[in-house]
C-alpha cells in the first residue's frame, strides 16, 4: 500500500494540465490545411466578435487561462508547456511579467482578479497559480507588484488506501494516454514527505483555494496563512479533499474522498457560517457516475464539473444548481470524443473545448444556459473565422461575454492565446 499518493482534484488539475496533452496530441496530427466548413452554424443566433491575438511584444502568448471582470487576463508565455513564464495582460492587452519564477518552468497561472491601488485608486491586476520545482508544486499570489509564495499545509500521513486514491498519472494511463506523453509532461505522484501546494481558484476578495498535501485549503492576502478546509468536511466523512474554486460570496466548491469501502469521490460546497468557519454540504448523487469532481463556481453558486462512470469510463460534463445536476455535454460533445467545461460566468454562459477523436481536432464553444436548459451553443471559430489562426480551446468567459483561450498560428505553428470581445 502506497500512502504517498495524495488526492488531487482531478478535474481541476486535468483541466489546467490536459492542455499539454491536447496540444501534444493535436500538434502530432496537425495539418495546416483549412478544413473549416461553410455549413450553417448550429447556434440559433448570429454572434459577432472582435478577434485579437494576445502577445508579448511580437511573440504569441502561448496559453491564456482566465479573464477577470475588468478584463485582466492570466496566462503564460513561452515555447512549450515546460518552458513558460507567468504573465498578466490588462484590458488593453499590455503584458506584465509575474515574478514568481526567474526562469521558464512547467507552470500554470490559473486565475486573474484585481485590487484597487491605494494611492492612485487604479485597478491592479492580480493572479494566482502554481509551478513545478523538482518533485513538488509551489503556489504563488501576484498582488499587482510582487509575487508571494503561498505556504503549504502540514504534510500528513493519510489513511487513504490505494483503492480509495487515484493519481492524475493513473487517470491518464487508464484512458490510454501514451506513456511518452506522460514522460514528456513529467507527470508523477508526489513523494512521501514532500510538501506540495496547487492554487486553483481566486475571487475578487483575493481569497485563494486549492489543494495542499491532500487537503483543500483557503488562503487570503490578508491572513497570509492557509486554512485547512478538510476540517469542515469531516462530517461528510472526508479523508482527503481539494478545493477548485471560490466565488465572491466566499462560497467554495471542490471534491473529496469519502472514508467508505468504495473510497467514493464526491463533490462538495462550503458556505460561510454565521458562527464562523464553514458549513459543508455534499452535492448529491449523479446516478451511475460515481466519481464527481467540480471545477468552477459563479456568484449564484452554480457549479460546473465532471462525472465519471468508473465501470465504463464514460463521462459527462454537468452544471449543478439548486441541488440538481444537469448534463451539458449531451448533444454537444463529439462522438467519438469528449468535452471539457472550463469556465462559467454569472449569466450561466459556459466555455468548453470539444475534442473529436475521429478528426483529431479540438474546437472552442460557448454554451448559453438559462434555468438549467441549454439555450444555445456557439461554435466560436465558425463565428469568428480568423484566417491566420486555428482556435482550439476556450478557457474562460467573464460577465461581459469576453472569451479567452488559445489556438495555433496557421503558418508558423506557434501556440497563441486569443481574446474574443462581443460586438454589440
- For residue 27, is it within any domain? yes
The answer to whether 341 touches 365, Cβ cutoff 8 Å, is no
Q: What is the pLDDT of residue 167?
A: 43
pLDDT digits (tens, 9 = 90+) for 283-329: 998 989 989 999 999 999 999 999 988 888 788 999 999 899 999 99
Contact 62, 75 (CB under 8 A): yes
Boundary of a domain, candidates 346, 365, 397: 346
Residue where a domain terminates, one of 295, 319, 346 = 346
- Phi and psi, residue 383, nearest 5°: -75, -35
Task: Let me know if residue 2 belongs to a domain.
Answer: no
Provide φ and ψ at 6, rounded to 5°: -90, 145
111-153 pLDDT, tens digit per residue, is 999 988 766 678 899 999 999 988 789 999 999 999 999 999 9
Same domain, 54 and 203: no
Same structural domain, 123 and 231? yes
d(CA 20, CA 242): 21
Could you tell me the pLDDT band of residue 43, with boundaries at 50, 70 and 90? very low
Q: What is the pLDDT of residue 45?
A: 58
pLDDT score at 223: 84
Q: Is the same domain home to 226 and 108?
A: yes
Number of independent structural domains in the chain: 2
Q: What ranges make up the beta strands (E) of 11-156?
A: 49-56, 59-60, 64-67, 73-80, 83-89, 95-97, 107-116, 123-133, 136-142, 147-149
Nearest to 405 by CA among 333, 332, 352: 352
Residue 1 lies in a domain: no
Whether 401 and 339 share a structural domain: no
Give, as one character, the DSSP assignment of residue 229: G
- Answer whether residue 5 is part of any domain: no
Residues 124 and 222 placed together within one structural domain of the fold: yes
**What's the rounded mean pLDDT across residues 373-386?**
90
Q: What does the mean pLDDT of the chain come to?
A: 83
Q: Which of 321, 329, 326 is closest to 347 using CA atoms?
A: 321
Q: Looking at residue 26, which CATH number applies to its domain? A: 2.130.10
Res 233 pLDDT > 50: yes
Do 55 and 145 lie in one domain? The reply is: no
Please identify which residue in the block is written with the cell numbers 444537469: 326
Q: 321 lies in which domain range? A: 10-40+60-346
Q: Report the distance separating Cα 264 and Cα 259, nearest Å.
A: 8
CA separation for the pair 71, 89 (Å, rounded): 8
Q: Are residues 186 and 308 in the same domain?
A: yes
- Residues contacting 234, CB < 8 A, separation 6+: none
Largest CA distance in the chain: 61
Same domain, 250 and 355: no
Q: Look up residue 152 and give its three cell numbers.
A: 503549504
One domain, residues 147 and 48: no
- Assess if residue 254 is contained within a domain: yes
What are the grid coordinates assigned to 318, written together?
454537468
356 and 326 inside one domain: no
pLDDT at 412 over 70: yes
Structural domain ending residue among the three candidates 346, 363, 381? 346
Instruction: Report the pLDDT value the prediction gives residue 252, as an integer from 0 to 100.
Output: 98
Residues 23 and 81 both lie in one domain: yes
First to last CA, the chain: 59
What is the pLDDT, as a whole number, of residue 17? 52
Q: Residue 165: what pLDDT?
A: 38
Q: Is residue 263 in a domain? A: yes
| pLDDT value of residue 16 | 55
Same domain, yes or no: 47 and 185: no
pLDDT tens for 182-208 read 444 434 444 455 678 999 999 999 999
Amino acid at each position: 500500500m502506497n500512502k504517498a499518493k495524495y488526492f488531487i482534484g482531478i478535474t481541476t488539475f486535468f483541466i489546467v494540465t490536459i492542455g499539454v496533452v491536447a496540444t501534444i496530441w493535436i500538434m502530432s496530427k496537425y495539418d495546416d490545411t483549412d478544413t473549416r466548413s461553410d455549413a450553417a452554424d448550429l447556434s440559433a443566433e448570429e454572434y459577432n466578435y472582435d478577434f485579437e491575438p494576445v502577445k508579448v511584444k511580437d511573440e504569441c502568448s502561448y496559453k491564456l487561462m482566465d479573464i477577470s471582470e475588468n478584463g485582466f487576463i492570466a496566462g503564460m508565455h513561452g515555447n512549450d508547456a515546460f518552458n513558460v513564464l507567468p504573465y498578466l495582460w490588462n484590458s488593453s492587452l499590455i503584458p506584465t511579467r509575474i515574478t514568481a519564477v526567474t526562469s521558464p518552468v512547467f507552470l500554470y497561472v490559473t486565475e486573474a482578479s484585481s485590487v484597487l491601488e491605494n494611492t492612485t485608486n487604479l485597478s491592479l491586476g492580480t493572479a494566482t497559480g502554481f509551478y513545478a520545482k523538482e518533485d513538488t508544486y509551489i503556489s504563488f499570489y501576484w498582488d499587482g507588484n510582487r509575487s508571494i509564495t503561498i505556504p503549504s499545509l502540514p504534510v500528513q500521513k493519510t489513511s487513504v488506501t490505494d483503492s480509495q486514491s487515484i493519481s492524475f498519472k493513473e487517470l491518464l494511463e487508464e484512458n490510454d494516454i501514451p506513456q511518452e506523453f506522460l514522460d514528456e509532461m513529467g507527470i508523477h505522484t508526489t513523494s512521501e514527505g514532500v510538501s506540495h501546494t496547487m492554487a486553483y481558484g481566486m475571487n475578487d476578495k483575493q481569497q485563494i483555494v486549492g489543494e495542499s498535501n491532500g487537503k483543500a485549503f483557503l488562503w487570503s492576502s490578508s491572513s497570509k496563512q492557509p486554512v485547512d478546509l478538510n476540517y469542515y468536511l469531516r462530517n461528510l466523512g472526508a479523508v482527503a479533499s481539494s478545493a477548485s474554486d471560490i466565488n465572491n460570496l466566499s462560497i467554495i466548491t471542490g471534491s473529496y474522498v469519502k472514508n467508505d469501502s468504495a473510497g467514493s469521490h464526491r463533490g462538495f460546497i462550503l458556505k460561510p457560517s454565521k458562527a464562523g468557519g464553514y458549513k459543508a454540504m455534499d452535492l448529491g448523487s449523479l446516478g451511475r457516475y460515481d466519481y464527481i469532481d467540480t471545477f468552477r463556481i459563479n456568484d449564484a453558486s452554480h457549479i460546473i464539473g465532471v462525472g465519471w462512470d468508473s465501470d465504463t469510463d464514460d463521462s459527462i460534463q454537468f452544471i449543478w444548481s439548486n441541488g440538481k445536476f444537469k448534463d451539458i455535454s449531451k448533444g454537444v460533445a463529439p462522438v467519438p470524443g469528449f468535452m471539457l467545461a472550463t469556465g462559467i460566468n454569472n449569466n450561466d454562459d459556459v466555455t468548453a473545448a470539444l475534442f473529436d477523436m475521429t478528426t483529431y481536432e479540438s474546437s472552442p464553444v460557448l454554451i448559453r444556459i438559462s434555468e438549467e436548459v441549454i439555450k444555445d451553443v456557439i461554435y466560436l471559430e465558425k463565428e469568428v473565422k480568423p484566417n491566420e489562426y486555428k482556435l482550439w480551446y476556450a478557457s474562460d468567459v467573464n460577465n461581459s461575454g469576453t472569451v479567452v483561450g488559445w489556438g495555433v498560428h496557421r503558418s508558423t505553428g506557434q501556440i497563441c492565446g486569443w481574446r474574443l470581445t462581443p460586438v454589440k
